[in-house]
Amino acid sequence: MIIYWILLIILLFLLFSWISSCFFGAPFQPSSNRALRNMIELSKVKKGQKVADLGSGDGKIVIEFAKRGAEAHGFEINLILVWISRMRIRRQGFQNKAFIHWKNFFKQNFSTFDIVTSFQFIYFMPGLEEKLQKELKKGAKVISNTWKFPYWKPKKRLGDVYLYIKE
Protein backbone atom coordinates (compact mmCIF):
# COMPACT_ATOMS: atom_id res chain seq x y z
CA MET A 1 0.00 0.00 0.00
CA ILE A 2 2.83 2.42 0.82
CA ILE A 3 4.41 1.78 -2.60
CA TYR A 4 1.11 2.76 -4.22
CA TRP A 5 1.15 6.12 -2.40
CA ILE A 6 4.81 6.76 -3.23
CA LEU A 7 4.17 6.05 -6.92
CA LEU A 8 1.09 8.29 -6.86
CA ILE A 9 3.08 11.15 -5.31
CA ILE A 10 5.83 10.74 -7.91
CA LEU A 11 3.30 10.72 -10.75
CA LEU A 12 1.56 13.81 -9.38
CA PHE A 13 4.90 15.57 -9.03
CA LEU A 14 5.80 14.72 -12.65
CA LEU A 15 2.40 15.89 -13.85
CA PHE A 16 2.70 19.14 -11.87
CA SER A 17 6.18 19.80 -13.32
CA TRP A 18 4.97 19.18 -16.86
CA ILE A 19 1.84 21.33 -16.47
CA SER A 20 3.75 24.21 -14.85
CA SER A 21 6.30 24.25 -17.67
CA CYS A 22 3.47 24.37 -20.25
CA PHE A 23 1.69 27.27 -18.52
CA PHE A 24 4.71 29.30 -17.44
CA GLY A 25 7.13 28.45 -20.23
CA ALA A 26 7.62 26.44 -23.36
CA PRO A 27 7.51 22.65 -23.09
CA PHE A 28 10.95 21.03 -23.26
CA GLN A 29 12.33 20.60 -26.75
CA PRO A 30 16.10 20.18 -26.90
CA SER A 31 18.15 22.17 -29.40
CA SER A 32 19.66 20.06 -32.14
CA ASN A 33 23.42 19.56 -32.18
CA ARG A 34 23.60 21.64 -35.38
CA ALA A 35 21.70 24.51 -33.74
CA LEU A 36 23.97 24.27 -30.70
CA ARG A 37 27.10 24.50 -32.91
CA ASN A 38 25.57 27.54 -34.66
CA MET A 39 24.77 29.17 -31.31
CA ILE A 40 28.35 28.69 -30.11
CA GLU A 41 29.76 29.99 -33.40
CA LEU A 42 27.54 33.09 -33.51
CA SER A 43 28.27 33.93 -29.87
CA LYS A 44 32.05 34.01 -30.30
CA VAL A 45 32.16 33.34 -26.57
CA LYS A 46 35.34 34.20 -24.73
CA LYS A 47 36.71 32.71 -21.54
CA GLY A 48 35.26 34.48 -18.50
CA GLN A 49 32.14 35.83 -20.20
CA LYS A 50 28.82 35.40 -18.43
CA VAL A 51 26.16 33.47 -20.36
CA ALA A 52 22.46 32.88 -19.62
CA ASP A 53 20.35 30.17 -21.22
CA LEU A 54 16.63 30.91 -20.91
CA GLY A 55 14.63 27.74 -20.43
CA SER A 56 17.76 25.65 -20.09
CA GLY A 57 16.05 22.26 -20.32
CA ASP A 58 18.54 19.43 -19.84
CA GLY A 59 21.53 21.79 -19.47
CA LYS A 60 23.18 20.90 -22.78
CA ILE A 61 23.74 24.52 -23.83
CA VAL A 62 24.93 25.60 -20.38
CA ILE A 63 27.49 22.79 -20.34
CA GLU A 64 28.79 23.63 -23.83
CA PHE A 65 29.38 27.26 -22.89
CA ALA A 66 31.08 26.19 -19.65
CA LYS A 67 33.39 23.91 -21.68
CA ARG A 68 34.53 27.03 -23.53
CA GLY A 69 35.41 28.85 -20.31
CA ALA A 70 32.25 30.89 -19.80
CA GLU A 71 30.39 31.23 -16.52
CA ALA A 72 27.13 29.70 -17.74
CA HIS A 73 23.76 30.03 -16.00
CA GLY A 74 20.59 28.20 -16.96
CA PHE A 75 17.12 29.30 -15.90
CA GLU A 76 14.49 26.56 -15.89
CA ILE A 77 11.07 26.23 -14.23
CA ASN A 78 10.68 22.48 -14.63
CA LEU A 79 12.15 21.02 -11.44
CA ILE A 80 12.79 17.63 -13.04
CA LEU A 81 14.88 19.24 -15.79
CA VAL A 82 16.71 21.31 -13.17
CA TRP A 83 17.63 18.12 -11.35
CA ILE A 84 18.70 16.37 -14.58
CA SER A 85 20.81 19.38 -15.59
CA ARG A 86 22.52 19.59 -12.24
CA MET A 87 23.33 15.88 -12.36
CA ARG A 88 24.83 16.22 -15.86
CA ILE A 89 26.91 19.21 -14.75
CA ARG A 90 28.19 17.33 -11.71
CA ARG A 91 28.96 14.21 -13.79
CA GLN A 92 31.00 16.28 -16.26
CA GLY A 93 32.78 18.25 -13.52
CA PHE A 94 31.57 21.77 -14.34
CA GLN A 95 30.13 22.70 -10.91
CA ASN A 96 32.34 25.82 -10.78
CA LYS A 97 31.40 27.04 -14.28
CA ALA A 98 27.82 25.88 -14.92
CA PHE A 99 24.82 26.72 -12.73
CA ILE A 100 21.15 25.85 -13.11
CA HIS A 101 18.57 28.02 -11.35
CA TRP A 102 15.03 26.82 -10.67
CA LYS A 103 13.48 30.10 -11.65
CA ASN A 104 11.19 31.81 -14.12
CA PHE A 105 13.63 33.80 -16.25
CA PHE A 106 11.17 36.68 -16.55
CA LYS A 107 11.91 37.32 -12.86
CA GLN A 108 15.69 37.47 -13.42
CA ASN A 109 17.66 40.62 -14.24
CA PHE A 110 20.10 40.04 -17.12
CA SER A 111 22.09 43.28 -16.90
CA THR A 112 25.30 41.46 -15.91
CA PHE A 113 25.25 38.92 -18.75
CA ASP A 114 27.35 39.16 -21.92
CA ILE A 115 25.43 36.52 -23.89
CA VAL A 116 21.84 35.31 -23.60
CA THR A 117 20.56 32.25 -25.46
CA SER A 118 16.94 31.35 -26.01
CA PHE A 119 14.77 28.68 -27.65
CA GLN A 120 11.29 29.94 -26.79
CA PHE A 121 7.99 29.77 -28.65
CA ILE A 122 6.86 32.71 -30.77
CA TYR A 123 4.32 33.92 -28.21
CA PHE A 124 7.12 34.63 -25.68
CA MET A 125 9.25 36.65 -28.08
CA PRO A 126 7.58 40.11 -27.80
CA GLY A 127 7.79 40.17 -24.00
CA LEU A 128 11.29 38.73 -24.00
CA GLU A 129 12.44 41.29 -26.57
CA GLU A 130 11.14 44.14 -24.42
CA LYS A 131 12.76 42.72 -21.26
CA LEU A 132 16.17 42.19 -22.88
CA GLN A 133 16.14 45.61 -24.58
CA LYS A 134 15.59 47.22 -21.16
CA GLU A 135 18.07 45.15 -19.16
CA LEU A 136 21.02 44.16 -21.32
CA LYS A 137 24.17 46.25 -21.44
CA LYS A 138 25.40 47.70 -24.71
CA GLY A 139 27.17 45.09 -26.83
CA ALA A 140 25.47 42.11 -25.16
CA LYS A 141 24.59 39.32 -27.58
CA VAL A 142 21.33 37.45 -27.80
CA ILE A 143 21.23 34.14 -29.65
CA SER A 144 17.77 32.86 -30.54
CA ASN A 145 17.16 29.37 -31.85
CA THR A 146 14.35 29.24 -34.45
CA TRP A 147 12.21 32.18 -33.27
CA LYS A 148 12.86 35.81 -34.21
CA PHE A 149 12.02 38.91 -32.21
CA PRO A 150 9.21 40.99 -33.75
CA TYR A 151 11.08 44.34 -33.94
CA TRP A 152 14.74 43.70 -33.17
CA LYS A 153 16.65 43.03 -36.39
CA PRO A 154 19.16 40.15 -36.35
CA LYS A 155 22.79 41.00 -37.16
CA LYS A 156 23.53 37.53 -38.47
CA ARG A 157 21.90 34.18 -39.09
CA LEU A 158 23.26 30.62 -39.26
CA GLY A 159 20.57 28.15 -40.26
CA ASP A 160 17.65 28.80 -37.91
CA VAL A 161 19.78 30.55 -35.28
CA TYR A 162 19.72 34.35 -35.04
CA LEU A 163 22.26 36.73 -33.51
CA TYR A 164 21.13 40.04 -32.01
CA ILE A 165 23.42 42.66 -30.48
CA LYS A 166 22.18 45.24 -27.98
CA GLU A 167 23.08 48.72 -29.24
Output the pTM of the full model.
0.84
Q: Which contacts (CB < 8 Å, 24+ apart) does range 90-98 have?
A: 92/63, 94/63, 94/66, 94/67, 97/66, 97/69, 97/70, 97/71, 97/72, 98/59, 98/62, 98/63, 98/65, 98/66, 98/72, 98/73, 98/74
Q: How far apart are CA 81 and CA 144, in angstroms?
A: 20
Per-residue pLDDT of the chain (167 residues; tens, 9 = 90+): 777 666 556 565 555 555 555 455 556 667 888 999 999 999 999 999 999 999 999 999 999 999 999 999 999 998 889 999 999 999 999 999 999 999 999 999 999 999 999 988 788 899 999 999 999 999 999 999 999 999 999 999 999 999 999 99
Q: How far apart are CA 161 and CA 35, in angstroms?
A: 7
What is the reported pLDDT for 11?
60
Domains (ranges, CATH) in the chain? 2-165 (3.40.50.150)
Q: How far apart are CA 27 and CA 146, in angstroms?
A: 15
What is the reported pLDDT for 24?
53
